[in-house]
Structure 1
Amino acid sequence: MVSLRTKLLAGLAVILLYGFWIIQLALSLPASELQFSLQGDQLLAAGPDAAPRPVESMLVGGKALPARAVLVIEEPDVLPVYSDINQFFAEHTQLLQALKAGTLQVRYQDGSEQPLHPLPRGLMQLPGMFWLQLLCGLAGMVICMLVWVPGEHNLATRSFALSGLGYLLASSTAAVYSTRELFIDGELFRILSGLNHCGAMLFSAAVSAFLWSYPRRAPSVWIPLALYGGFASCMILDQLQLTASPVEGFHLWVIGVFMIGLSGAVWQWRQTRNSPADRSAFRWVLLSILAGTVFFSAGMILPVILQVALPHAQGPLLATFLLMYTGMALGITRYRLFELERWWFSIWSWLLGGLAVLLTDLALASLLTLSGPTVLAASVALVGWVYFPVRQFIWGRLTVSRQRGLDTWLSQALPVMLQAQRSGHTDSAMEQALLAVFQPLRVERLSHKAQRPQVVDNGDALQVPGPSGEEDYLLRHAEQGRRLFTRQDVQLARLVLSLDSLVLHSLTARVEGATEERNRIRQDIHDDLGAKLLQLLHTASDDSRQLVREAIRDLRELLQSMDGHEVRLDVAAARWQEETASRCQASDVTLHWQQTLGEQLLSAGQFSHLTRVLREAVSNALRHATPTELRVELSQQGGAMLQLRIENDGVALAETATSGRGLQIMLARARQLGGELQHGCAQQRWWLALQVPIAPSDTPAAD
């Protein structure tokens, strides 16, 4: 198997060899002592140090050939009929043969004549328009090669690559004959013009097929095939000249096929209306294509078809096609077009960056009359201090990385994980972290399991395995639909999974450590304090024995709360009623007990705190007042809120204890339970009300 790097280097080598061949072909065209130009309908000739003079005719072996203005036009297919084009090629053959034979002369309108001799062309004699067209075509082909070689080989990428090939054929051949110095073999001119037509028509068909194939496939494969069939039909009509005019044989076909492609753009627009990622990518693609084709169509093809004005210069118009490929390159970095990653633009930037450095050196060498070492030093300084900083600035502005650094995503994921874990919502900790890091438009849950995080649906979604065998998470449209998911997001998802596991293990270890320490303390209390209280119970007097029994009861409740066992609410209320009734009976106080309770479960902590609040309230009433009756009411609101209300008629003595230590302890316990404690006097009765939340239970628990 050939590596990707080898394929890329091989493709680059082929493109560069083709570029060198085009340069050699342009250098093979001869020059002469005169420069020919066009002013209106008049052919002008100018020597190196002479002003332009109007030409009457060209003398070919003593025979006068009219100096028609069409001899210097850039593109022969602007002529109205094929017969004129054939005559155009034949006259160029005559001029070249006469120049090489030394029998070519120029006759000016003043009657004077000047012989012409063939002169070689050098690199510095090639005009700037030649380099512009050639380099734009090569750059466009390089971009297409970098898409086609590493990308998925489907109809869209193949069509995109063929459009680059067509652009290179059209621009490179036009670079040769449109910048000629009048003299070129007619047959070579015909071949180059045919290749130019082939490239232009291939470009139109390929771009149209691409618009029908990206981002959604065409409803029928026959549509792009018909477009390529139109390319073949056009080439047969044009090259065999089966029509009278190149308008019917070529230009109308180019425009017609491209209009079919635009109808495909309308279809794609409708198909992507429910997919924000595809719609954003296609919008960028369509804008790039229109920016690259509208100038050439308006400035070159439409004037020829309508015969309303002379076409504009072909070179700058062909160069505008590079806008399309540059837009595609930027689209790859922003929308991951063609399933390519950000390294793609790095390769492209590296290739064209090296070319820019080379061109900078050549420009300095040609513009500055300096020695070789001086030019080299100036080039290095200019590239290092100007080119590279400007390139990095533009790269940073256009392709700002949306991938968050480690510190950013860690600061987003860790707090929400810890908060969810501490609040007991371990099942939502992972989801909250994924929401914080990737900011998707929505999160779905999948029943099928993935072994590892993976990008699905062409970057629209990221599938992340749920921790501990839970359902998978499917994140749709990263950063609120502003970008697609990439391989870097897969790595981030793996880090989030690892962080979730680490947080869970740390909290579990903390709980296990606390439980182990609680059990040790519980055992020590049971063995030491419990044994001593039992011993004290057997040796205590009758007056103290009741106090010791209460201490043993409190110890048992404390140990029970440390065990962490849950208690059913109605069972707890029965225990509270039994204890309160016993205490009221001992103090000769009438107890009125009312309860309306369900079968919810109280945690060990809730049971312990509620028991002590009730016990403290009863103690305050019996100790600081002289009540004749005590009323206790237990009720629920909606099944999720428990209300405890205690009243007594010993108001006078109770008012002295409103700010005592016992009340402060009850307030603290109420806050620990997440509830609220209130107290006051009403209708000659002292009251205290506690309201705390309790978790509802779907099924009754066993006692």
Structure 2
Amino acid sequence: MQSLNTRIFIGITVPVLLALLVIGVALSIPRTGIEFVVSDNHLVALVPTSHDAANATGTTGYRAEEVLLFQTGGEHQVDYPADIQFVIEEPDVLETHTEMRTLMHSIGVLTTALEQGTLMMHTESGSYALEANQADITALPLSFWVQICAGLAALIICILVWLPGELSPGKYGFIISGFGYFFALISAGLYSSRELFIDDSLFRTLSLLNTFSTYIFMSGLALLFWNYPRVLLSKRTNTLLALFPLPLISLAAIPVHDHLAITIYLPFSLLLLIPLVGMVCQWRSNADNPKNRAVLRWILFMLVAITIPAILKLYAPIPQSVLLVSVVFIYAGIMIGITRHQMFDIERWSYRLWGWFLGGLSILVVDLLLASAVGLSQEASLVVAMGIVGWLYFPVRQWAWKRFFERKGNYLEEWLTLSVPELLGQRMDSSQPQQSELRLKNALSAVFRPLKLEFNADTPKEGIFGRGSEMVIHGPAGESIKLLHPAEGRHQFKSNDLNIGRMILALDALITDSLSARADGAREERQRIRQDLHDDMGAKLLRLLHRSQPDDKPLVREAINDLRILLHNTRGQGEGLRQTLIRWREEAASRCEDHDVNLNWQQSHSHARLSAGAIMHTGRALREAISNAIRNMSRPDISVCVEQQEGYLILTVSNPFQQSSDTSENKGEGIRNIHQRMEQIQGQATFRTRRDQSNAIWTVQLDIPIEVMPHEAL
């Protein structure tokens, strides 16, 4: 393997030597100083006006004269009628090899006579003796320099790919296609930039080199697309693909068939199909890699925009030199697509680019159909084609863009619609850190749909990494939030996504602050009400207790106890289950004592905690159940059983009841209130009757959700 310095030396030397060789060949092609063009299907010579045509160089004045024929002198004088095909840029546009050989032979005979000084040109205004001038570098036309510069640019790009690191099959394909493009371009540049004259053997050699180089170019693209970004072919198959142009060139060199459509265009179409199929296979195999798909999308557009219209001959009015030079943009596009594709929001605007390209293509196709099938003139067919495309294609394009590709509504409105419901969800538990983290996860997942989202304690730099596959933002507590592969791996993160992520965090902070402010205001209001009730109502109840008759004192004490419980519940704080059960038992015992009822209270539970809402609603439901038991009992016995099962506190109130009393499950305002209170705390109330010996037992069971906690947390 060569060292890097050796590769750099080769990379500089080879393009320089090739450029000098091409310039030397171009200077060997004879020139007369007369430019030959086609006008109104006639061959026209632009003859300098200030000097004789044979000696004129660098003049600025020209007169156009229609050429009638060329005449070779010497022993065998031959007349060659002026044929517009003498100045044809590309000989393989002819239909047969016979026509191409005849053309090259005729031009070769004229060139030999020119170099011998025996060539005459006859025009309508007179005859001219043509002589070959000593060519210099300033006589080479601009089209030649444009093509050689474009070929060298593609060659240098391929050399830059070859210089560093190991070579993969995809890189080999890219380099091979670059060399094929270079030789195809400079060979075409040599014979297409001639005045008219060129040696027939050189013409034939350059034409074969152009065809073979085109095959090499397509073979290299096939290697590239079948092996980049992922290698899809074996080493043996890649070798066969690289050697495939060798048997194809024999079809044109021998040739095996006279029609160029069989020997040149058909093999070229087959070679074009191979890289396109490879592109499709790469697209399918990279369904899980949005970075590779972005590269493929960009390369596909650069390839199709140049090659497909050329094959369909939609660029026929464009000079061949301009068309061939445009291919260099494929190499620049591939290089940009591979190295800096992230700078383009390809997923967003590539569809617009395709729409623009297809719009121009549709105008060309409709124009050709109208001109060939209907027989309209060029001007009329172009006008009608633009009208048809403007009235049909562009409205359909706009509808398809809005229907399938354009974001519905405003983008700000879209992500707000996705994130706000998730941020507002579980707002009752917004004070808990784990709930806040869950809200953010749900909101970010709804907007970006990443394959993975994780919170980390470390705080790396915010930004987009991995060429768009990873985004890191800082959470509200300084932690890092890492999102990987947005849109379930189908897209990449863009710079705008980082701003959206920050806005989601800011919105979450705003919602959290709003909920906290609301909770603080509610606590302050409850505190004010508690103080007013304690100071005013409590004082009046105490005065009423001292002035009441002995029979009325239990009722006043019960009211004072209710007030005490109400003030405790309005604190908005939960408490341990043990303290709550003690208070409930004291209240139940006091009420049963006032009515001469025996209370059998049994409890077994572990350490747990009840929320403030659960304490309030369960306490009042228990009070209603005991009140119902006192009203309907058949004997003065009430049992209360407290136990804990799988995250629920089970409260069961039982009492013997009178068969005639109205205590069915679906009757009574008190029973409906118990149901509603249990629903408020996601609990459940169950009412049933059973037989115990000779008595009917009425049972109320309350299932209350609780939070089990370790003992030290209480």
Query: Into which bin does the TM-score normalised by the smaller protein fall?
Result: 0.5 to 0.7
Query: Which residue of 2 is the match for residue 400 of structure 1?
Result: 405
Give the one of 563, 572, 591 matched to 2:571: 563
Structure 2 distance, partners of 1:269, 1:281, is 12
Query: Which residue of 1 is the match for residue 344 of structure 2?
Result: 340
Q: How many Å apart are 1:555 and its aligned residue?
A: 1.4
Q: How many Å apart are 1:116 and its aligned residue?
A: 8.6
Query: Which residue of 2 is the match for residue 435 of structure 1?
Result: 445
CA contact (8 A) 2:486 2:493 kept: yes
Give the SS at the match of 1:542: coil
Q: How many Å apart are 1:653 and its aligned residue?
A: 5.9
Structure 2 distance, partners of 1:164, 1:398, is 40
CA contact (8 A) 1:332 1:341 kept: no
Q: How many Å apart are 1:600 and its aligned residue?
A: 0.7
Which aligned pairs between 1:158-169 and structure 2 lie closer than 5 A? none
Give the SS at the match of 1:449: coil
CA contact (8 A) 2:455 2:479 kept: no
Q: Deviations over 1:604-645 (max 9, x none)?
A: 22112211111111112113434332121222221x122211
Q: 1:324 to 1:505 in 2, by over 3 A?
A: farther
Structure 2 distance, partners of 1:678, 1:586, is 27
Give the SS at the match of 2:708: coil
- AA in 1 matched with 2:419: A
Q: Deviations over 1:536-564 (max 9, x none)?
A: 33333333333222222211111111112
CA contact (8 A) 1:643 1:689 kept: no
Give the one of 66, 72, 87 matched to 1:59: 72
Give the one of 420, 431, 438 matched to 2:426: 420
Give the one of 654, 658, 661 matched to 1:647: 654
- AA in 2 matched with 1:340: F
Q: How many Å apart are 1:448 and its aligned residue?
A: 3.2
CA contact (8 A) 1:288 1:325 kept: no
Q: How many Å apart are 1:601 and its aligned residue?
A: 0.4
Q: 1:161 to 1:485 in 2, by over 3 A?
A: farther
Query: Which residue of 2 is the match for residue 10 of structure 1?
Result: none
Matched, 1:591 2:608: no
Give the SS at the match of 2:425: helix
- AA in 1 matched with 2:91: E
- AA in 1 matched with 2:452: R
Q: Deviations over 1:124-158 (max 9, x none)?
A: xxxxxxx9xx99x99xx99x99xx9xxxxx99999
Query: Which residue of 1 is the match for residue 538 of structure 2?
Result: 530
CA contact (8 A) 1:285 1:327 kept: no
Q: How many Å apart are 1:580 and its aligned residue?
A: 2.1
Q: How many Å apart are 1:666 and its aligned residue?
A: 1.7
Structure 2 distance, partners of 1:32, 1:330, is 37
Q: Which runs of 5+ in 2 are unaligned?
A: 1-30, 44-64, 131-142, 161-165, 233-238, 247-252, 255-263, 313-317, 372-376
CA contact (8 A) 1:644 1:690 kept: yes
Q: 1:603 to 1:575 in 2, by over 3 A?
A: same
Aligned residue pair count: 571
Q: 1:172 to 1:557 in 2, by over 3 A?
A: farther
Q: How many Å apart are 1:672 and its aligned residue?
A: 0.9
Query: Which residue of 1 is the match for residue 589 of structure 2?
Result: 581
Q: How many Å apart are 1:679 and its aligned residue?
A: 1.6
Give the SS at the match of 2:555: helix
Q: How many Å apart are 1:28 and its aligned residue?
A: 6.8
Query: Which residue of 2 is the match for residue 697 of structure 1?
Result: 708
Which aligned pairs between 1:236-385 and structure 2 lie closer than 5 A? 275-278=288-291, 280-281=293-294, 284=297, 337=341, 339-342=343-346, 367-368=378-379
Structure 2 distance, partners of 1:176, 1:387, is 44
Q: 1:396 to 1:320 in 2, by over 3 A?
A: farther
Structure 2 distance, partners of 1:269, 1:291, is 16
Structure 1 distance, partners of 2:632, 2:38, is 126
Q: Deviations over 1:361-392 (max 9, x none)?
A: xx99x9559xxxxx9xx89x979966994796
Query: Which residue of 2 is the match for residue 674 of structure 1?
Result: 682
Query: Which residue of 2 is the match for residue 103 of structure 1?
Result: 120
CA contact (8 A) 2:690 2:698 kept: yes
Q: TM-score, normalised by structure 2?
A: 0.60
Give the SS at the match of 1:560: helix
Structure 2 distance, partners of 1:333, 1:32, is 41
Q: Deviations over 1:557-610 (max 9, x none)?
A: 111111123222233223322332333344333322222311110112211221
Which aligned pairs between 1:499-578 and structure 2 lie closer than 5 A? 499-578=507-586
Q: 1:603 to 1:177 in 2, by over 3 A?
A: same
CA contact (8 A) 1:592 1:630 kept: yes
Structure 2 distance, partners of 1:491, 1:115, is 77
Structure 1 distance, partners of 2:480, 2:38, is 80
Which aligned pairs between 1:38-57 and structure 2 lie closer than 5 A? none
Q: 1:206 to 1:445 in 2, by over 3 A?
A: farther
Q: Which runs of 5+ in 1 are unaligned?
A: 1-24, 37-46, 107-113, 119-130, 149-153, 219-226, 235-243, 246-250, 300-313, 370-374
- AA in 2 matched with 1:475: L
Structure 2 distance, partners of 1:63, 1:635, is 127
Q: How many Å apart are 1:649 and its aligned residue?
A: 0.7
Give the SS at the match of 2:662: helix
Query: Which residue of 1 is the match for residue 261 of structure 2?
Result: none
CA contact (8 A) 1:463 1:472 kept: yes
